[in-house]
Amino acid sequence: MGLIKNIRDAVKKEVKDYIFQMVEVEKDNEKKSEQQVPENVKNIEVKVEQPAPKVEEKPVVKEEMPEPEKKEEVAEVREKPRKKEIYPIANNLEFVRFTYKKNQEFITVPKELSELIKMLPLEEYACFMKLYCFAADQKKNYGYWGGTLKRKIGLDALSTAEFEELGNNLAAYGLLLLEQLTENQKTFVLYVPFDEDTMNKLSTAKPAPRQPEKPAPKKAVNPAPKAAKAKPEPKEEAETQHEEDIPGKPVEGMENDEMYKSYKTFVSLEIDKAKMRVGRANFDKIYMEAVKYIDKKYGFKVLSDSDKFKEYLTNYYISAFDIPTFENWKKSKG
Amino acid sequence: MLNDIKILMKSLSDIDVRIMLCKSAFEWELLAKKYNALRDEIETFCASGMPEDVKEALEKTRASLVEKKGELPPLDLSDFFK
């Protein structure tokens, strides 16, 4: 028994040495140039011959050899690039900007939405659900897209590029609408089926037309949500509302209205509060962004016209600091 | 014609220099007005087609003006709300 045990140990040791040698030789082969490769092969052949003579080795070698292969397979799986082309899982969804009428005690996902999002990959699914919970928490399904949002929804661990990619993927799947306001500012609208009982509709965001190169897949679900279908609204009205929501869009008319004057005072106070809240340095940065945005969006003539610029700047602040619009403020006043 | 466009371009580079020295919103507004007037003048002058380098120079000055406006202290809106 002792002899057999010794032989077994010796065989095991030799096989281990053999495998280590093989791995080292393979590593060397990769490093050396093509001219040196034949020499290495000879070395391998010589080394292979050395532990070969004993018959008992064979089954042991067969058992041990698959390990490096398995490792290679795993490496291959990990190295596979992510699928670049994304097909929308739903078409013609109506992106409604809304606010919840009251705080949500329970965060519920409508069945039609759950049917859609279950097709998302894990990361996109998680991001969507985080945004969904965030929307319920902040009582609206839209806002600015960026680092602050990333932090608020608990995705700090992701880099900015990864977060951007997630957003772009969700947009490509057709469940998120991203709009580039300026070079550094983006807004998002999360797709949530509109429910008249619990939500106030603000506007309808218009998704950018999809590229014809990416046809919808056969399996794609194509249901516009029932709630959205049941209450179709004239497109013109929706577009007008959307226009009103764009930061920097001036509120025209109503200058003589007493309510409007009170509203202006309210806005002035809110801007002052925001200035205190964000600090001088950040406020300066926001101002710089506003200047760039107004120039890009409305042209230099507006920027150089003092009165117009003040008006557009005010509206930019209203949007940037989440100050209620005149309509919403009026409603809240009753 | 060459001399005329040279004069206009000289005026544009004058504005560029003044933008660098600009320190107040009032000065900026004057420069913006000058720029707008000069731009109109150049556009009228080059009605048949603006040379690429002139177009680039105009855009560069415009970008400098925008940048400068962003760098100046934020506009006081208190009058606007009265």
Domain that holds residue A101: 95-245
So what's the pLDDT on residue A84?
Answer: 60
The residue ranking higher by pLDDT, B48 or B23, is: B23
* Final residue before a domain boundary, out of A52, A79, A106: A79
Closest residue to B75, CB basis, from A268, A304, A310:
A310
Closest residue to B77, CB basis, from A268, A284, A291:
A268
A221 and A141 in a single domain? The answer is yes
d(CA A268, CA A274): 10
**pLDDT, mean over chain B:** 88
So what's the pLDDT on residue A11?
Answer: 77
The residue ranking higher by pLDDT, A112 or A85, is: A112
Task: Please give the DSSP secondary-structure letter assigned to residue A36.
Answer: G
Angle at A83 between CA A184 and CA A221, to 5 degrees: 90
| A332: contact with B, CB 8 A cutoff | no
CB contact under 8 A, B75 and A287: yes
A226 and A105 in a single domain? The answer is yes
Q: How many domains does chain A have?
A: 3
A221 and A326 in a single domain? The answer is no
* Residue B31 CA to its chain's centroid (Å): 6
CB contact under 8 A, A300 and B32: yes
- Is pLDDT at A41 greater than 70 in this prediction? no
Give the residue ranges of DSSP H helices in B1-82.
2-21, 25-45, 52-71
* Final residue before a domain boundary, out of A27, A55, A79: A79
Please indicate, yes or no, if residue A250 is contained in any of the structural domains.
no
A65 and A120 in a single domain? The answer is no
**pLDDT per position as a tens digit, A212-221:** 444 434 333 3
A99 and A137 in a single domain? The answer is yes
**pLDDT, mean over chain A:** 72
The CATH number that applies at residue A180 is: 1.10.10.10
Please indicate, yes or no, if residue A306 is contained in any of the structural domains.
yes
The answer to whether A193 and A225 have CB atoms below 8 angstroms apart is: yes
A105 and A211 in a single domain? The answer is yes
**pLDDT per position as a tens digit, A285-334:** 999 999 999 998 889 988 888 888 888 898 888 888 888 888 888 788 76
A133 and A218 in a single domain? The answer is yes
A232 and A134 in a single domain? The answer is yes
Chain B 40-79, residues with CB within 8 Å of chain A CB atoms: 62, 65-66, 69-71, 73-75, 77-78
So what's the pLDDT on residue A228?
Answer: 37
- Is pLDDT at A173 greater than 50 in this prediction? yes
**Whole-complex ipTM:** 0.88
A275 and A175 in a single domain? The answer is no
Number of H helices, E strands in chain A: 15, 5
pTM surpassing 0.80?
Answer: no
d(CA A181, CA A188): 10
